[in-house]
Structure 1
Amino acid sequence: MDAGALVFDVFGTVVDWRAGVAREAARLLGPDVDAAAFADAWRARYQPSMEEVRSGRRPFVPLDALHRESLPAALAEVGGGPVADDVAGELVLAWHRLDPWPDSVPGLARLRRRHLLAPLSNGGVRLQVDLARHGGLPWDTVLGAEVVGRYKPDPEVYDSAPRFLALPPSRVCLVAAHVDDLAAARERGLRTAYVHRPAEFGGDPVPPVTDPAADLSVGSLEELADALGC
């Protein structure tokens, strides 16, 4: 695969959102709230909140704002009551402090030897910068939803990567752990690499081991580096 650049889904692909959110929830909410169930309940509101923007029913706002709006309902679902504004703010910032999967940083470091690297995430620019600084993610630049004011799978998000990186779509590869994300990228002419992350949702459900439609299917970013000769 002749890819000049690799762009990455981040939540679930590069970082472990569930463990990170649960860790911060346990710290901030205490033992009376099931922290893992809360992380799942909050994540379940991720796509519906973005759909309000994608549908045109509301203007674009960064993901932090959507997370803040969906927080009360997620808390209520797991029996948590209202929280003070400062606690709510810290919970939203939990998404800025997610740890990379163990293979992410070494894999990215190897991939960067031969490819431009950037996130292509629904997370905002500051969120991506904070994740990079927190976890040592070696991005060359930050791309994604907030850069174009659209949320994936809007075609404009995928189209923006080759445009900003000055490459044809066929030389840009989206790396993701989600087959729907990869399918949307292929529709725009990007190459695709699937990463199997069996623990993303705590093992239930377990995502498919491969994406037969992807150019590559791997079990880690280090395996991806192997496959690309890095």
Structure 2
Amino acid sequence: MHRENLEAVLREFGIDAGQVETTELDDLNLAWHRLDPWPDTVEGLTRLKSRYIIAPLSNGNVRLMVDMAKHGGLPWDAILGAEVAQAYKPSPEAYLRTAEILALSPEEVCMVAAHNSDLAAAQKCGLRTAFIARPHEHGASQTTDLQAQGNWDWVANDLVNLAKQLGG
């Protein structure tokens, strides 16, 4: 899917993917695997990990999550998500199967996200919710998810702040 999207973006800019070296396209396509985490992420996750199980619930594939963890030093306990749950967010199965895999009830799981729609879907499944704004996630002109827009259990300005709120 990433490769298809990359080739579509290249076409938008008048670049024929067939004229680009395959190795260059492969490397560019894997840039997602080398994303640096937000500055508060490693410290915040480490603090949360001292009291809680932490795992990404991503629509990205497991290999992507593994590579991001290795590149950025992300201290996840497990890597979950669409591949493991066999369902993509916002499907209820994605959230509920994740809780089941962890041998937890939905109310024992907290979905932490910068996307109000993701939190709304998780909340409908009985998960606890925590919103962290990432106002530049989609660039300087981002207009959505700038603030909490639901009755979330926690709202924090970053993961370190969330960890403090949760006693970590």
Please report the TM-score for the alignment, with normalisation by the length of structure 1: 0.69
Which residue of the partner structure matches residue 161 of structure 2?
A: 223
For the Cα contact (< 8 Å) 1:120–1:145, is it kept in 2?
yes
Shift of 1:70: 2.0
Unaligned runs of at least 5 residues, structure 2: none
Is 1:98 matched with 2:12? no
**Structure 1 residue 73 and structure 2 residue 8: aligned?**
yes
Matched, 1:175 2:112: yes
Give 1:160-199 correspondences, 5 Å limit.
160-199=97-136
RMSD: 1.2
Count of residues in correspondence between the two structures: 165
Unpaired stretches in structure 1, ≥5 consecutive residues? 1-65
User: Deviation of residue 90 (structure 1)?
Assistant: 1.0
CA contact (8 A) 2:116 2:150 kept: no
Contact 1:210 1:218 in 2 (8 A): no
Q: Given that residues 175 and 193 in structure 1 are in contact (C-alpha distance below 8 angstroms), is that contact kept between their aligned partners in structure 2?
A: yes
Report the 3-state secondary structure (helix = DSSP H, G, I; strand = E; otherwise coil) of the residue aligned with 1:116: coil
TM-score by length of 2: 0.93
Task: Find the aligned partners of 1:151 and 1:87 in 2 and give their Cα distance.
Answer: 30
Structure-2 separation of matches of 1:215 and 1:80: 46
| CA displacement at 1:87 relative to structure 2 | 1.7
Structure 1 counterpart of 2:151, from 207, 213, 226: 213
Aligned partners of 2:15 and 2:113: how far apart in 1?
32
